[in-house]
Structures are given as structure tokens and as C-alpha cells.
Amino acid sequence: KTLVVSGDGRFYNIHATKTIIKMAAANGVAKLIIGLNALMSTPCVSAIVRDKKAYGAIILTASHNPGGPTEDFGIKYNASNGGPASEALTDIIFKKTETISQYKIAAAEPDVDFSRLGNYQFGSLAIEIIDGPKEYVKLMKSIFDFDALKKFVARQHFSFVYDSMHGVAGPFAREVFLNELGASENALINSVPKEDFGGGHPDPNLAYAEELVERLGLAKDKQPEHIPDFGAAADGDADRNMILGRKFFVTPSDSLAVIVANAQHIPYFQKSGVKGVARSMPTSCAVDRVASKLGINCYEVPTGWKFFGNLMDADRLSVCGEESFGTGSDHIREKDGMWAVLAWLSILEYKNRNSPSDSLVSVQDIVTEHWKTYGRNYYSRYDYEQVQSEGANNMMGHLLSLIQDFDSGKLTKLDDKELALADEFSYTDPVDNSVSAHQGVRFIFKDGSRIVYRLSGTGSVGATIRIYLEKYT
């Protein structure tokens, strides 16, 4: 069997990769495919698994969490479809951890130069070092019109900035934007991967992507002399994205909706069409409005990309997204930050084909026009981190009691707003009929507004309570 192994470059990445090589050799794995410098974005790993028909992948990442000697490290397993392991598989793995009493590992150290492309042998184990960014570009060229994008990027009155946040996106951004689209070096910031992400928190949002936010004119106390027309950021493993315009923030929910509404301007969807769309339950219903108007099926799934993958494998889903800055399509089985950026550049390119050279249909223009067509979902999320588990569980228990009151007819309003539904979200997969229960508490009002509460397990300390507020106009 062949496995793909790479990471986002955080502290311990190389050491862990060497350990995996030793364990793979001792356990009879036939081949490992590893990225140059043991780096590959999570979307690229998914693409390589699918292209090379690998058995699966081991991804060394803690996603958007900080890195460094005292910070987070993570190991993620992806299956043969290129997507995150299913709950059934992770349950099996967990059960193994309860009974395992020994493990096999080679005593010798592998003689592999991760900085050089080529083939190596470690006992019976074959190792291939590949150029991840170049492989990824091949896939992107099958989706987007790079010639049109290159012409648009060269436009005199257009400028953009891409922030890799010192994560693995850096080499991919250089290959895509500089080598392929001809952008200048000034278009890239924080593009050198660092073990500690430069001391920052590689989460592409308004709080942590401070430099990009300032450059796009969104910082309250600082206004730069020149503000680019377009800005984007990636997280540590480059599967998440944030989209900004000049002094304008595009929420992830609106970004998903705008991409779906304009999918016909992307060559990939011109060929295949949009089979269906999906969002995670806490994500705003903006994409639902688009799907309804276009006559496309729209699925509401629990948080977690694996739920999208099942629908994609069944050929029911083309585009999907999460409010936590994740967007993607069925070209792979992971969210893909660079794909989302190229989708936005494609939309900008199309909208400006007939505009005068000295003017620009902006990001804000596109989103504003979208709101005029489909309405606007005002949306906000509040995170309460490192909360004591007992208090968090008590709060969720109280919310569940309110659901019981709604079911019995005792509760019909919250703050004078009439309730249409109060429940604990449960999802039955339409493909395999598997059930995922206890996915968050929802209060849905008759005017389309929503309040959602979730306990999240993505942090490393304590409980995290997430509250989502939404109003449609």
C-alpha cells in the first residue's frame, strides 16, 4: 500500500515524519509519498491521494492552532478518497488504542534528504519526494482559466495581497501567484513557512490576520496610504481562507453563497454544472437562498468536512462550506483555501471583462449586488474559550430543557420573537443512513432568524462554547 505523508511545517514536523518512515518500514508499507521539505498543504495531500490512488494519508497539522515547542501539534488520517477518516474508522482506531501493547519501528535512521526531489529506499520501503505546489497547480489549471486570471492580475488598476501567515500556503502561493499568474513579490506577505508561524496564530480571521486587515484598510486606528483591491489569507495547513475587499470583509457564509451564485463563470462548473451545495449547520443560510433560486439541492450537515465527502462521493455535491472560513468543491475531499481565492479572482475577472481599465467592479460591489438579488443574512459568531467543562455542560443542559418546554408548548417565544423550531440538531446521512446526533442546539424563529449553540472540541484546553446569531432581511 502507498501512503501520503506531509505536514504544515510546524515544530516537530520533520521529526514526526522520520518516525512515520521508520514505523511504515517496520509494518510493511510499500511506499510513502512525501512533499518537498516534508511540506504539503492539506488540500494538496487530498489531491495527491486521489491522483496517485493511495491507500490514505497521514497529515501532520493542528490546522489553525498555534505552533512551536510549547504549542499544538496534530496528526490527522485521511482515507483513500482523500477526505478525513469517517467516524466509523476513527472509532476503530480509538478501540485499537485501548488494547495495543506493542508497536513495530525500525531501529535504523532513514537516509532521506527532504530538500531534494527524487526516490529513496529504506529497507523494503520506497520513498518519493515530490513537488507539492507544482502538482497542485496542475489540478488548479484543470479548474480555472489561468490565462484569463494572468491577464486580470496584470491589470494596471488592480492589486492584491495574499497572507500565508507563515504556514504551508507560502510555497503554494509563490507557485500559483508569482510563477503562474505573474504577480509581483509585493503581493505575498508572511510567505515563508516557520515552525512557530512567526509567533502568530495562523487562523485567517479579522482578529489574527492583523497585517492583512491593516493593509486592506480595516484596522480602526490605522489607514495605509495605498489599499489593495483584494486580499486573502490562509491558515496553517492552507485549507481555510479569508476574503477581503478594499475596506470590506466578506463573511465565510457570504463567500460561499457568492461563489455558488457565480459558479457558471468558472470553467470547471461550466463543464460539470453544480450538482448540489451544502453547508455546516451553524453556517448562515445565505447559500440556501441561492440554491433555492437556482433550483439546486442544498444539504445541511454537522460541522466536519467528512460529512461533505460522503455526499461528494455519491455525486450529490459540488460546492460546500463552513462558517469557520472553510470553502471547497468536489475536486478534492478537503476544504481548499487557495481554490476559494482563485474562485474569487475568477469572479472578479469575469465581472471586470467589460469595465474600463481605470475602474473596477470591486469585491464590495459584487457582494452588495448579491444582497440585492438574494437578500442578506446578517451573521455573527461568538467564541468563549477555555470554559470549565462543568459550567459548559450545565449551560447546554439548560438549553436542552428549553427545547423540552418548546416541545410541550410552554415556550413559544424568546425575547418576544416567535419560535418556529427549537431542537438539538441530528443528521441522518442520505447516502448511508448513518446518524450523527447531539450536533448543537438550534432556536429558529418564524422570521428566519436563528440562534445556535455548540460545544467545540477543536481547542486544546477546556471547553469552547460557540454561539451563532443570524438575521435575514
pLDDT at 67: 94
Q: Which amino acid is at 266?
A: I
At 231, list the grid cell.
486580499
Rounded CA separation 326/86 (Å): 19
Cell (9 digits) for 7: 505536514
Give pLDDT, residue 331: 98
* Order of strands across the sheet that contains 276-280: 297-301, 276-280, 319-322, 326-329
Reported pTM: 0.95
What pLDDT is stored for residue 358 in this prediction? 83
Burial group, residue 239, by CB count within 10 angstroms (0-12, 13-18, 19+)? buried
pLDDT score, position 460: 53
Residue 470: half-sphere exposure toward Cβ, Cα within 13 Å: 27
**Is residue 409 packed enough to be buried (19+ CB in 10 Å), middle (13-18) or exposed (0-12)?**
exposed
- Catalytic residue numbers read 63
Q: 85: burial class by Cβ within 10 Å (0-12, 13-18, 19+)?
A: middle
Can you name the residues that pair with 34 across neighbouring β-strands? 5, 129
Rg (CA), the chain: 23
CA distance 378 to 309: 28
DSSP state at residue 303 = S
Strand partners, 60: 7, 75
Q: What angle do CA 339, 5, 200 make, to 5 degrees?
A: 60
Rounded Cα distance between 32 and 40, Å, is 13
Distance CA(339)–CA(49), nearest Å, equals 17
Cell (9 digits) for 29: 508499507
Give me the pLDDT at residue 461, please.
Answer: 63
Q: What's the pLDDT at 88? A: 87
| Residue ranges in the chain modelled with pLDDT below 50 | none
How far does the chain reach from its first CA to its final CA, in angstroms? 53
Element (H, E) at 326: strand 326-329
- What's the pLDDT score for residue 266? 98
Strands (E), 351-425: 377-387, 413-414, 417-424
